[in-house]
A and B are shown apart, each in its own frame.
Chain A
Amino acid sequence: MGGTLAAGIIAPIVGFVIHPWLKETVYGIEDFINIGKLDDFPIGIPKKMTVTSSKMDAWNIFEGLVIGSLWVIRHEDNSLNVFSTNCPHLGCGIDWGTEENMFLCPCHGGVFDKSGKKVAGPSSRGLYSFETKIENSNILVSCKKV
C-alpha cells in the first residue's frame, strides 16, 4: 500500500526532473552563421571571431546573443579552417602564440598547430573544427556540428 503511494508520487516527479533528457531546452541557433567577409581575414594568420546568433534558452528567445568565439584561418587557396576556442582537453580557452606559431592552452600546456593537430600536451585529440561555406564572399559557419 505504501509502495503504491510512493510510486504515485515518485513517477511524475521523475518524469519532471528528467525533462532535459526528453526535450531540447536550448535550441534555435541558426544553421549557418555569418562571421564576416572573406577579404576581412588575412591569409595564414588566425583571427578570433565572436559569434552571435538567435537562440531559444528554455523560456527565453534571444536575438543577436553572443554564443561563443572561433579561431578562423584563411589559406592561400581561400579554403578555411575554423576551430573552437576551447581546448579539447578540459575546455580552457586557447590562445594563438605569435612567436610559437601554434595554438597554446594556458591550463595544462596543450599545443596545436595551424591545422588543429595536437603537437604536445595532455589532449587526446586535435582542436574541434566547424563546417564552413562561402556564399557571396561571406563566411558562414555551422556552429551546431563540431
Chain B
Amino acid sequence: MANKLSEWIENRTGLNNLLKKALNEPVRGGAKWYYIFGSGLVFLFVIQAVTGIVMSSFYSPSSTAAWGSVYYIQEKTSFGWFIRGLHHFGSSAMIILAIVHMFQVFIFGAYKKPRELNWISGVILLIFLMGFGLTGYLLPWDQKGYWATQVATNIIGTIPVVGDYIKILHQGGSDYGNFTLTRFYTLHVFVLPISLLFFLFIHIALFRKHGVTPYWKLSEETLRTRIDPFWPNQVFMDIVFAIGMYAALAGWVFWNGGAELQAPADPASNYLARPEWYFLFLFELLKYCQGKFLIVGTVIIPSLALIFLFVLPFIDRSELRWPSKRIPFFAAVFSGLAAAIALTTTTIVHDNRDIHIVHQREDAEKQADRAKKLAANGIPPAGGLAIFLNDPLTLGEKIFNESCNGCHMVKGKGGDSGPDFTNFGSREWVSELLKNPKDNKYFKDSGAMPPVKVPDESLRDMTEFLLSKSGSLTNKNDESIERGKELVLKGNCVICHPIGDKEEKKVAPNLTDYLSETWLKEFIKNPGDIKFYGTRNNMPGFSDKLNDKELDALIQYLFSLSKDRLLVSENENNEVYTSGQSFFYTKLKLKTILDSFVCLR
C-alpha cells in the first residue's frame, strides 16, 4: 500500500528522482569540513524563519502594542523567551557565519571565473542579512531598538539630495510612529525574506552548476579520482555542524535568559543609542567623520567597500587560486576586516570604560526591570510607556530631577552643594559618611561633625544599627546590630544626636529611625526643624511644595538609589525585590524557564 502510494506520488511529481539528484551531487576532492558553512547558513535561516513565523502570531506592529506584545512573548508565554532568544542571537550567529563563509570562499578563490555571479549573489545575501538585523532591531519598540534605529534612519538622511525623501519613505512619515513599525515589519517579514529566498535560490543553483571549489593544493589527479556524492559523508558533516551550532545557540540563549527587552521606547529620554554589535564599526566610523565629512562615513566608505566586494571577481581575473599569488587582494580584504574589528573593539572598550555610559546602562537595565514589573499588571491601551504614568518610582525620579538634583548629585549628574546621593542610604553610603563627614561627597567644609575614628568592623556595626530601624534594609545582621547599638549608645554619638526618642532635640539631627520613610518624610518637609539641622540648615523645606503622594513617590525613588534597600512591589503577589533587581530578575527568568517546563508537562 505504502509502495503503491509512493509510486503514485513519484509518477506525478518525480520527487524521489529530484531528491536522489540532490543527494548524489558530486563533491570533487571528497567531503570536507570546510564546505559546511553554506549549509550551516541555510540551517540558521530556517531557524530564523520558523521562530520568526511563530513569533509573528503573537506580535503586533503598532507603536502602542509592539512593546506589550514582545513583553508578552518574553515573559508570559511558554518558551517565548527561548524562541525570541533563538531568533535574536540566531541573527548574530548568521552574521558571524556569513562572514566566515565569505572569507572561506575568498581564501579558496571561489569567486573567480566562472563563479562571479555566485559571489555577487552572496554579497547581495549578506546585505539582506544586515537589512534583517536593522529592521528587526526596531520591532520590539523598546529603548534600544528605537534609539539605535533613529541613528540608522538619520544616516539614510545624510545621502545627498534624495536622503530625506528616502528617510521619510522608510520611516513612513517625518517622525517615528505606527507607520515606521508597519514598514519595518513589512520589510522584515515580507520584502527581505522573499528577496533573500530569490537570491538564495540563484546562489544555490549556481553552486550546483559549478560545484565546490576545492582546496587549491589538491592535484587534478586527486580531484579526478576522489569524488564523493553529497550523501552521506558531506550531509553527515553538515548535520554535525548544525547540531553543534544549535547546541551552542540554545546554550547561549539559556545562559543569557533569552534576548534583552529594554523599557518601552521613550522619545523624551536621553537613552544611549548603540546599534547591534555588527554595526558598531560603522557607528564608530562616524566619530571620525564629522561636520561636512559625515557623508564620508555614512555613504562613501560603506559604498566603496561594497563596490569593492561586487567587482572583486572582475579585478582579480587571474585563474591562480594560491593565496601567495593574490597578495594585494588578501591585503585589501584582511585590512578591511582588521579595520572593522579595530573600530568595533574601540567602541566596546570606550563604552565599558566611560563611567557615564556604564551608569546610563545600569539605569536602563533598572528601568527595563521596572517596566516589566509594572507591565505584569497589564499595559494600558495608550501603549507601553503609559505603564509609568502611575508609577511612584517614575514620579519620584521626576520630582528628584526637578527639585533635588540641583544640589544632590546622582551617579555624576547634578549639583554638588549638598551630599552626593549615589547609592544614598546604603551601608556603604552611611559608613563613609561616618568615616569622613567633611568628604567632598558629603558636607565638605560645612560639616560640623568630626570623623568617627573606630576600626572598619566597628564602623560597619554602627552603620548596621543606625540603618536597622529604616524598615527596608536587606540581609539584616542582628549580631552586628547589637554590637553597633552598644557602640553608638555608649559612645560619643549620643552627645550630639538624640537616638530613641523621636521628639528629643539636641545640637545635631535626631537619628531615631534614621533614614526610614517617616524620618525622611519629616526631614524633607522641614530640614530646618530643631530636631534636624535647626539654624545650621541650608536645605529648603518641601512641606508646601510637595503633596503626600509626591513625597511618597520621592521617598520610593530615594530608596531605589540604595542597593541595600527593599522596595515592596504594588502587585497582589506582594513580591519583594531589591532596587538593584538583578537577583530578582534572574529569579524571574529561572521561574519563567521552570514555568515553561511545567506547562509542557
User: What residues of chain A have their CB less than 8 Å away from a CB belonging to chain B?
Assistant: 1-2, 4-5, 8-9, 11-13, 15-19, 22-23, 28, 56, 58-62
Contact = CB atoms under 8 A, between A and B. Distances in A.
Most chain A CB atoms below 10 A, which of B76, B79, B250, B381: B79
Nearest to B85: A12
Contact of B76 (A11, A28, A59): A59
Contact of B379 (A11, A23, A60): A60
A12 B83 contact: yes
A23 to B, nearest CB: 7
A15 B54 contact: no
Contacts of A61: 377-380
Interface stretch (B67-75, B404-412, B494-502): B67-75
A12 B82 contact: yes
B273 to A, nearest CB: 26
B79 A58 contact: no
Contact of B78 (A1, A19, A56, A59): A19
Contact of B54 (A16, A56, A58, A60): A16
Contacts of A11: 600
B381 A4 contact: no
Interface stretch (B238-246, B318-326, B445-453): B238-246
A15 B78 CA distance: 6
B431 interface: no
Contacts of A4: 243
A143 to B, nearest CB: 19
A23 B76 contact: yes
B429 to A, nearest CB: 38
B379 A59 contact: yes
B301 to A, nearest CB: 39
Contacts of A17: 54, 57
A13 to B, nearest CB: 6
B79 A15 contact: yes
B51 interface: yes
Contacts of B57: 17
Contact of A15 (B240, B377, B379, B599): B599
11 contacts: A9-B47, A9-B50, A12-B86, A12-B596, A13-B83, A15-B78, A15-B600, A17-B57, A19-B58, A60-B378, A62-B381
B80 interface: yes
Q: At the interface, is chain B mostly helix, strand, loop or mixed?
A: helix
Contacts of A60: 65, 68, 378-381
Contact of A19 (B77, B378, B381): B77
Interface string B230-259: 000000000110110010001000000000
Nearest to B67: A59
Nearest to B73: A16
A64 B50 CA distance: 38
A122 B47 CA distance: 48
Q: Which of A5, A16, A18, A61 has the most CB of B within 10 A?
A: A16
Contacts of B51: 13
B395 interface: no
A28 B86 CA distance: 32
Interface string B99-142: 00000000000000000000000000000000000000000000
Interface string B373-399: 001011111000000000000000000
Nearest to B600: A15
A65 to B, nearest CB: 9
B242 A19 contact: no
A59 B375 contact: yes
Given A17-B57, A59-B76, A23 B83 contact: no
Nearest to B596: A15
The 6 closest A-B CB pairs, nearest first, are: A61-B378, A59-B68, A59-B72, A12-B79, A15-B79, A16-B79
A12 B84 CA distance: 11
Contacts of B71: 59
Nearest to A17: B54
A20 B50 CA distance: 19
Interface string B289-330: 000000000000000000000000000000000000000000
Nearest to A22: B599
B261 to A, nearest CB: 12
Contact of B378 (A8, A15, A16, A59): A59
Contacts of A16: 54, 77-80, 82-83
Contacts of B78: 15-16, 18-19, 22-23
Contacts of B82: 12, 16
Contacts of B83: 12-13, 16
A22 B567 CA distance: 32
A2 B242 CA distance: 9
B69 A19 contact: no
Contacts of B47: 9
A19 B377 contact: no
Interface string B258-279: 0000000000000000000000
B246 A8 contact: yes
Nearest to A58: B72
Contact of A9 (B58, B246, B596): B246
Nearest to A62: B381
Contacts of A8: 246, 250
Nearest to B383: A60
Contacts of A18: 78
A56 B378 contact: yes
B79 A5 contact: no
Given A23-B599, A60-B380, A13 B69 contact: no
Contacts of A5: 239, 242-243, 246
Given A5-B239, A15-B599, A59 B79 contact: no
Given A16-B83, A19-B58, 19 more contacts: A1-B243, A2-B239, A5-B243, A8-B246, A9-B47, A9-B50, A9-B246, A13-B54, A13-B83, A15-B596, A16-B78, A19-B78, A23-B599, A58-B58, A58-B72, A59-B69, A60-B378, A60-B381, A61-B378
Contacts of B250: 8
Contacts of B380: 60-61
Interface in B128-174: none
A2 B238 CA distance: 10
A12 B239 CA distance: 20
B134 to A, nearest CB: 25
Contacts of A23: 76-78, 599
Interface string B347-381: 00000000000000000000000000001011111
B239 A19 contact: no
Nearest to A65: B381
A62 B65 CA distance: 13
Contacts of B72: 58-59
